[in-house]
Amino acid sequence: MGRRGLFAGSLALGALAGGRWASVPAAAAALRRTAVPGTVPRLVPMRPHADQITDIKVCLRPFRAAGPRLDVERVGEKVVIHNYGHGGSGWSLSWGSAEMAVGKAAALSPRRVAVVGCGVIGLTTALTAQRAGLDVTIYTRDLLPHTRSVRANGSWTPDSRVALTAPAGPQFADTWERMARYSWKSYRDYLGLPGNPIDFRDSYVLSDTPFDAPESEPENPGHKGDYASTGMPQQSSEFASYGERIRDIIPAAELLSAQENPFSVPYARRAPLMIFNFGAYGHLLLSEFYQAGGRIVIREFHTPADMKTLPEPVIINCPGYAARDLWGDRSLIPVRGQTAWLPPQPDAAYGVRYKGASALSKSDGLMIQGFDMSGLGEMDGVGNSFEHADRSEAEKAIGIFENLFARFPAVQG
Ligand SMILES: Cc1cc2nc3c(=O)[nH]c(=O)nc-3n(C[C@H](O)[C@H](O)[C@H](O)COP(=O)(O)OP(=O)(O)OC[C@H]3O[C@@H](n4cnc5c(N)ncnc54)[C@H](O)[C@@H]3O)c2cc1C
């Protein structure tokens, strides 16, 4: 999750309107509510300690400046429809992106399709194709539990490093909105199910300074221009921000008064955040796919020409970041991210974001991610393809919450 993920699920916080780093006091004030006395939820403190780490996962966000690749090309006799490059938003946009890719496939009226890849994009694409009445086989090197997808954070972050404003242009903004709305609606069908594959958490954003204090563009000391002149993003301000477009369906955040704020940090706001519990949700998607007659073939492709050997006439290509090598797509830029996992803490079912790190209590563990601990904003991890765990980074992120909860609660009796 990028810095903008700080505001995920709370796009109506107003922090992004009127300029990426500008603040919007009027919007924030308008959202302010006073809780009915006695209704402020009492939070059980999280227990984040470095000696509780069970796993550290590293992932490369498949970022493309122009946004996800969804075009169609021919490889010999085969029609290949691409569906990859969703940056830090693949979980969030998966159903909407699948709907678009499958729409292109269905227009060709095939009886059966192949889907390459079984990450969240491949799996939702395969299910969407089945729902359109197609006979689907997934060809993949790895099943979902071993893909990069499950090394993510797993929150609703639909415009987290998904494109750069200028290269993507206004047309992608419309595409994004359609994807985001379709996905949001699709996820509603998975709420309230056994195991809570999809759930909501109260997410607290904490700050030592007022939310309406002017925020400056984060420093990127090495920056040398912009994407147009270098082929790499250089500044946070180049990253696209589309959240305002779906403000009408995303629960708004509320500023907490001193009496409502249980944290020993002066400023706090809270918003419901949609989350994806990887274990339960992944298992459900795979079961649904098999129950609908889907087949999975474990297979690795080495070049686009390998697609010619598949029996299906239409192929939807969902290899994620691996398209950089498989398809020679150099427009894919790695954006490294890391999450540390601690034992689940179901009694503390909420999320907190503070000092560039995020702690989120999910059914499959207490997840802690330092998404911007160096103050680089959206540039954090950009161009970094080091896909190995960095324990010191994990411990630093955990330390932020260890300190926070050592001073907890601030006001509760
Ligand atoms: C730290 C971090 C946090 C994130 N947090 C969030 C978040 O909170 N919310 C959100 O929406 N998104 C988040 N993301 C982004 C999200 O994880 C990605 O956009 C998404 O996982 C991409 O999924 P995918 O299916 O395209 O790719 P992958 O998960 O990489 O799947 C690719 C599939 O293709 C297969 N494949 C690859 N190459 C070949 C080959 N040569 N032959 C055969 N098969 C092949 C693989 O085996 C795999 O099955 C985060 C990412 C990171 C790194």
User: In the beta sheet, which residues pair with residue 274?
Assistant: 200
Q: Give how far Cα 389 sits from Cα of 60, 206, 316, 336, 368, Å.
A: 12, 27, 31, 11, 13
Please calculate the CA angle 342-405-375 and round it to the nearest 5 degrees.
80
Looking from the CA of residue 321, the nearest atom of ligand 1 is: 30
Decide: 102 in ligand 1 pocket, CB within 6 A.
no
CA distance 272 to 313: 43
337 lines ligand 1 (CB under 6 A): yes
What integer pLDDT is reported at residue 259 of this predicted model? 87
CA of 210 from ligand 1 middle (Å) equals: 36
| 3-state SS record for 138-163 | EEECCCHHHCHHHHCCCECCCCCCCC
Residue that the structure tokens 């790895």 belong to: 142
Expressed in angstroms, the distance from the first to the final Cα of the chain is 34
Tokens standing for residue 382: 């950009």
Cα four-point dihedral sign 327, 84, 245, 100: positive
The residue whose C-alpha atom lies closest to atom 14 belonging to ligand 1 is 88
Mutate to test the pocket of ligand 1, among 140, 285, 303 (most ligand atoms within 8 A of CB): 140
Task: State in Å: Cα 148 to ligand 1 middle.
Answer: 4
How is 39-51 classified by DSSP, letter by letter?
A: -SPPPPPP---GG
* Spatial separation of the C-alpha atoms in residues 139 and 121, rounded to whole Å: 13
Place of tokens 């706090």: 268
In whole angstroms, what is the distance from residue 150 CA to residue 392 CA?
Answer: 21
Task: Say whether 90 sits in a helix, a strand or coil.
Answer: helix
pLDDT of residue 3: 40
Residues with Cβ within 8 Å of 335's Cβ and at least 6 positions away in sequence, in order, are 2, 60, 61, 63, 87, 88, 161, 381, 382, 383, 384
Distance CA(33)–CA(411), nearest Å, equals 18
What confidence tens digit (pLDDT) does each residue in 177-215 have? 999 999 999 999 999 999 999 999 999 999 999 998 877
Distance CA(384)–CA(393), nearest Å, equals 14
User: Which stretches of the chain score pLDDT less than 70?
Assistant: 1-40, 216-222, 410-413
**Ligand 1 touching residue 322 (CB < 6 A):** yes
Ligand 1 lined by 67 (C-beta under 6 Å): no
Closest listed residue to residue 202, CA positions, set 411, 43, 39: 43
261 lines ligand 1 (CB under 6 A): no
Cβ(65)–Cβ(168) below 8 Å: yes
Closest CA relative to residue 134, chosen from 76, 202, 73, 81: 81
Residue of the nearest CA to atom 25 in ligand 1?
A: 119
CB within 8 A of 81, min separation 6: which ones? 70, 71, 72, 101, 104, 105, 314, 315, 316, 317
Residue written as token pair 């907490």? 256
According to the model, what pLDDT value does residue 382 have?
Answer: 97
Cα-to-centroid distance, 146 and ligand 1 (Å): 10
Residue 381: CB within 6 Å of ligand 1?
A: no
Q: What is the DSSP string of 174-218?
A: HHHHHHHHHHHHHHHTTBT-TT-SEEEEEEEEEESS-TTS--PPP
DSSP-assigned beta bridge partners for residue 365: 362
Q: Are 158 and 176 in contact (CB under 8 A)?
A: yes
* Strand pairing category for 295-298 and 135-140: parallel
